[in-house]
Structure 1
Amino acid sequence: MSLMITDQCINCDVCEPECPNQAISAGVEIYVIDPKRCTECVGHFEKPRCVEVCPVDCIPLDPAYVETREQLLAKYTQLTAEKAPS
């Protein structure tokens, strides 16, 4: 699954720089997570960094984007290949 940021977000700015996939950005009212880039930190860390640093615990799993660990790992592989220098 991808993660999502709920409306409990206080816009504290700590999650965005922690995301290794640049999946988090400022939305209209609160930060948002791009499900196409979110791997729940699979391939990078044991636990999602944004969840670990969030002071208000407002980053649950997004039930609209159900993915297996294997799918998240495949997404991680694709994203890191895109970052690799040509």
Structure 2
Amino acid sequence: MAIRITDECINCDACISECPNNAIYEPDSEWAYADGTSLSGTVTTPSGEEVDANEMHEAKSDEFYFIVTDKCTECKGFHDEPQCASVCPVDCCILDEEHEETEEQLTAKKAWLHGE
């Protein structure tokens, strides 16, 4: 599963620098697949969608920090546990049960994001 940030987020900024995939963004910030990854140009996502990695997308929240599901790997291949959840002072980084993924899928997503 990916991680999501609940509306209990206090926008403390603790999580954003911990994410190895640059999947966490500040409220009201545009995002791109290419941000903090090796992706560039037209790429095919692990779910099979063709996208422009450099295209900017609208913020997923204008009130609190948010995680881009397609970039979240639960820190697999980097750490033993999701770093955002381990540093969050209010425990608002939780498993996103709407986006279940196996460890193999998360590892493949990491390789896709970082060209490994």
Whether these two folds match at TM > 0.5 is yes
Q: Give TM-score, length-normalised by structure 1.
A: 0.92
Shift of 1:19: 0.3
Using the alignment, how far apart are the partners of 1:66 and 1:33 within structure 2? 15
Structure 1 segments of 4+ aligned residues over 4 angstroms from their partners? none
Using the alignment, how far apart are the partners of 2:101 and 2:86 within structure 1? 20
Using the alignment, how far apart are the partners of 1:79 and 1:42 within structure 2? 12
Q: Give TM-score, length-normalised by structure 2.
A: 0.69
Shift of 1:64: 1.3
Shift of 1:15: 0.3
Query: Which of structures 1 and 2 has the bigger CA Rg?
Result: 2
Query: Which is richer in helix?
Result: 1
| Amino acid in the other structure paired with 2:16 | E
> Does residue 19 of structure 1 match 2:19?
yes
Query: Which is richer in strand?
Result: 2
Indicate which of 31, 34, 51 corresponds to 2:65.
31
Q: Which structure 2 residue ranges, 5 or more long, are not aligned?
A: 28-61
Indicate which of 61, 75, 83 corresponds to 1:49.
83
Q: Secondary structure at the match of 2:95?
A: coil
Aligned match of 1:7: 7
Shift of 1:26: 1.1
Q: % of aligned pairs identical? A: 51
Using the alignment, how far apart are the partners of 2:113 and 2:83 within structure 1? 17
Question: CA deviation digits over 1:43-76, x for unaligned, max 9?
Answer: 1000111011000001111111110000000001
Aligned length: 82
Q: Secondary structure at the match of 2:6?
A: coil
| Amino acid in the other structure paired with 1:16 | I
Aligned match of 2:111: 77
Q: Which structure 1 residue ranges, 5 or more long, are not aligned?
A: none
